[in-house]
Every structure is written in C-alpha cells, then in structure tokens.
Structure 1
Amino acid sequence: MPQLSPEPWLTVLLTVWTFFIIILQPKIATLTATNNPTPHKPQTTKTWPWPWTQTY
C-alpha cells in the first residue's frame, strides 16, 4: 500500500519543518501588532425581574 510508505512524506515533512524553523519562525517572531487591543468596560445587562427569581 503506497500510503504506508514513509519515504516521500518523511522527506517532505522534514523539509517543511526545516524551512519553517530556520526561515519563517524568526520573521514571524519579529512582527509587532499594529492595532493593540484596548480593554473594554464590561457591559451590564438589565434583566427582567421574573416573579420566580425574586428573593424576599
């Protein structure tokens, strides 16, 4: 069965990981976010006072 032969896929996997680790990872690590998130004030929602949820 050709799916179980690791020869072509192992080479492709090692080549892609080597490319990612050596070339792409340092470029991605140096990127900075241009739109920094700002903290938002949590919104309070007004709920309907159902008769069975009121405590006396």
Structure 2
Amino acid sequence: MKRLLFVSMWAAALLVAPLSGCTLGGAAAGGYVGHEATHGSTVGTVGGAVAGGIIGHELGK
C-alpha cells in the first residue's frame, strides 16, 4: 500500500510540473511529494523540491 501511494504521488508530481511549466511549480510539487513520501523528513522535502524544480525547469523549456 505504501508503495502504491509513493508511486501515485510521484506520478502526480510529474504531471503537475508540465502543466505548470515552470521551475517553481515543479519544486512545490516535488517538495510536497518528498515531504509525504518521507513522513516529514527535511531532507526528503528538500530533495523532492530540488528534483521537482529540475524536472519543471527542463519541461518548461
């Protein structure tokens, strides 16, 4: 069940990034997914935001 939730959150983050088309939207979505996936870990939140920002930047080009 946790794996399904984790995959679903990443899929949602990847879909939000192209729709927002910017680094900020991707970072926000990635930060949320990282926070939820790691149960509030600061490292997970920051890592997710960085990954989401990179994805949002690349897809926004």
Answer 1 or 2: which has greater helix percent.
2
TM-score for the superposition, normalised by structure 2: 0.29
Mark the structure with the bigger radius of gyration: 1
TM-score for the superposition, normalised by structure 1: 0.31
